[in-house]
Structure 1
Amino acid sequence: MRTDIVKNSPASHDALASVENAAPSEKPPVDNSNLESWLTVVAGFCVFVNSWGLLSTYGAFQEYYQTVLLPTVSPSVLSWVGSAQATFIVLIGIVTGPLVDAGYVRPLMIIGCFLTVFGMMMTSLATSYYQVLLAQGFCAGIGGGIAYIPSLAVISSNFSAAKRPIAIGLASIGSSIGSVVYPILFRRLQPQIGFPWTVRIIAFITFGLSLIICAVLCRHPGHAAPTRRSLIDRRAILEPTFMLYSVSLTCIMLAYYIPIFYVPTYARTSSLHTSKDLSFYMLAIVNGASTFGRTMPYLLLGISTSGSKSSDKNASNKLVKPIYILVFSTVGSALAMFTWLAVKNTAGFIVWLCYWGFLTGILVTAPTSIIAHPILCPDMNFIGTRLGMMWGISSFGGLAGTPIAGALVDLETGEFWKAQVFGGCMMVVAALLQAWPTFRIVRYDRRAMV
Structure 2
Amino acid sequence: MSEGAGETHDVLSDAGFLPVPSNNNSKQPSLENLKEKGGHVETEHKLVDLPDDVDQKLQNISVSLEPPDGGLRAWLVVLGAMASTFTTFGYVNAWGVFQEYYQQNTLKDSTPSNIAWIGSIQYALVFLPGLPIGRLFDLGYFRSILLAASALLILATFLIPECKEYWQFLLCQGLATGLACGAFFGPVTAVLAMWFKKRRSLALGLFATGSSIGGTVIPIAIKNLIPVIGFTWTVRIVGFILLAGLVLANLALKRRVPAAAHSEGVFNLQMFKPFRTPAFTVYCLSSFFIYLGFYTLLTYVSVTATSIGISESFSFYLVSIANASSGVGRVWAGLCGDKIGAMNVLVPFTALTGVMTCIWPFMRSNGALVAVVVLYGFSSGSYGALVSVPVIETLEQGDAGRDLGRRIGLLMTFLACGGLLGPPLSGIVFKTRGVEAMGIYAGCMIIFGVVLMCIPRFLVLKRRRNRGFPSNWVLSKV
TM over 0.5: yes
In structure 2, the residue matched to 1:226 is: 261
Task: Supply the distance in 1 between the matched residues of 2:200 and 2:231 (Cα, whole angstroms).
Answer: 40
CA distance in 1, matches of 2:116, 2:464: 42
1:419 matched residue in structure 2: 438
Residue equivalent to 1:347: 367
Counterpart for residue 253 of structure 1: 291
Aligned equivalent of 2:395: 375
Q: 1:24 to 1:175 in 2, by over 3 A?
A: farther
RMSD after superposition: 2.6
What letter matches 1:103 in structure 2? G
The corresponding residue for 1:175 is 211
- Asked whether 1:105 is paired with 2:105, we answer no
- Could you give the per-residue CA deviations for residues 233-258 of structure 1, whole angstroms, max 9, x where no partner exists? 33212322211111111111111222
Matching residue of 1:276: 312
Q: What are the superposed Cα offsets for residues 203-245 of structure 1, whole Å, 9 maximum, x if unpaired?
A: 110011111111122x438623123244453321232221111
The Cα shift of 1:290 comes to 0.3
Match for residue 301 of structure 2 among 260, 263, 270: 263
Shift of 1:190: 1.0
Aligned-pair distance for 1:377? Answer: 5.1
Task: Name 1:14's counterpart in structure 2.
Answer: none
Greater shift in the superposed pair: 326-335 or 224-233: 224-233
Per the TM alignment, residue 82 of structure 1 is displaced from its structure 2 partner at its CA by 1.8
Determine if the alignment matches structure 1 residue 338 to structure 2 residue 358: yes
**What is the rounded CA distance, in whole Å, between the counterparts of 1:426 and 1:137 in structure 2?**
26
- Kept after mapping to 1: 8 A contact 2:356/2:376: yes
Structure 1 segment 113-128 matched on structure 2, within 5 A: 113-128=150-165
Distance 1:377 1:52, change over 3 A: farther
2:126 paired residue number: 89
Distance in 2 between residues matched to 1:377 and 1:73, nearest whole Å? 50
Tell me the secondary structure at the aligned position of residue 226 of structure 1. Answer: coil
1:445: Cα distance to partner?
A: 4.9
1:296-335 aligned within 5 A: 296-302=332-338, 304=339, 320-335=340-355
- 1:44 counterpart (69, 73, 81): 81
2:420 aligned to which of 399, 411, 415: 399
Which range moved further: 372-381 or 149-158?
A: 372-381
Aligned with 2:163: secondary structure? Answer: coil
- Is the 1:60–1:264 Cα contact (8 Å) retained in structure 2? no
Q: Is the 8 A contact 1:59 1:264 kept in 2?
A: no
Quickly say closer, same or farther: Cα 1:416–1:98, change in 2 above 3 A: same
Alignment correspondent of 1:75: 112
| CA positional deviation for 1:357 | 0.6
Cα deviation, residue 383, structure 1: 0.7
Maintained 8 Å contact 1:293/1:360: yes
- State the Cα deviation string for residues 180-220 of structure 1 (Å, max 9, x = none): 00111011001112222211211110011111111122x43
Residue 345 of structure 1: how far off its partner (Å)? 1.5
Aligned residue among 395, 405, 409 for 1:384: 405
Which segment drifts farther, 113-122 or 142-151?
113-122
Q: Is the CA contact (8 Å cut-off) linking 1:89 and 1:146 kept in structure 2?
A: yes
Contact 2:359 2:440 in 1 (8 A): no
Task: Go from structure 1 to structure 2 and tell me whether the alpha carbon gap of 1:279 and 1:67 turns closer, same or farther (over 3 Å shift).
Answer: farther
Q: Which moved more, 1:167-176 or 1:257-266?
A: 257-266
Measured after TM superposition, the shift of residue 125 of structure 1 is 2.3
Q: Is residue 2:454 matched to residue 1:435?
A: yes
Supply the AA of the counterpart residue of 1:228.
S
Task: Please report how far the alpha carbon of residue 143 of structure 1 lies from its aligned counterpart in structure 2 after TM superposition.
Answer: 0.4
Task: Tell me the distance in 1 between the aligned counterparts of 2:187 and 2:452.
Answer: 27
Q: 1:157, 1:180 → 2: CA distance?
A: 29
8 Å CA contact retained: 1:338, 1:420: yes
Q: Report the CA distance shift for 1:417/1:233 in structure 2 as closer, same or farther (over 3 A).
A: same
**Residue 30 of structure 2: aligned partner:** none
The secondary structure found in structure 2 opposite 1:233 is: helix
Q: 2:303 is paired with a residue of what secondary structure?
A: helix
Give the distance between the partners of 1:102 and 1:146, measured in 2 at CA: 15
Q: How far apart in 2 are the matches of 1:80 and 1:286?
A: 23
Q: What is the CA deviation profile of residues 270-314 of structure 1, one whole-angstrom value per residue up to 9, with x for unaligned ones? A: 22x322321221111010000111011221344x4xxxxxxxxxx
- Matched ranges for 1:126-145 at <5 A: 126-145=163-182
Gaps of 5+ in 2: 11-23, 26-57, 471-478
Which sections of structure 1, spanning at least 5 residues, go unmatched? 10-22, 305-319
User: Structure 1 residues 442, 176: CA separation in 2 closer, same or farther (over 3 Å shift)?
Assistant: same
Q: Do the aligned residues in 2 keep the contact of 1:45 with 1:170 (CA within 8 Å)? A: yes
Q: What residue is the counterpart of 1:62 in the other structure?
A: 99
Give the number of equivalent residue pairs. 414
Mark the structure with the bigger radius of gyration.
2
Residue 19 of structure 1 is matched in structure 2 by none
- What secondary structure does 2:162 align onto? coil
Shift of 1:34: 2.2
Q: Deviations over 1:347-396 (max 9, x none)?
A: 21111110111122112121112211253454110011100111112211
User: Is 1:62–1:261's contact at 8 Å kept on the other side of the alignment?
Assistant: no
Contact 1:58/1:261 (<8 A) preserved: no
Mapped to 2, the partners of 1:334 and 1:248 lie a distance apart of 13
Q: C-alpha separation between the residues in 2 aligned to 1:26 and 1:371?
A: 25
Residues 116 and 140 in structure 1, CA contact (< 8 A), matched pair in contact too: yes
Q: Percent same amino acid at aligned positions?
A: 28
Tell me: CA distance 1:248–1:24, structure 2 relative to 1, closer, same or farther (3 Å): farther
Helix, strand or coil at the partner of 1:124: helix
Aligned match of 1:30: 67
The CA distance in 1 between the partners of 2:157 and 2:427, in whole Å, is: 24
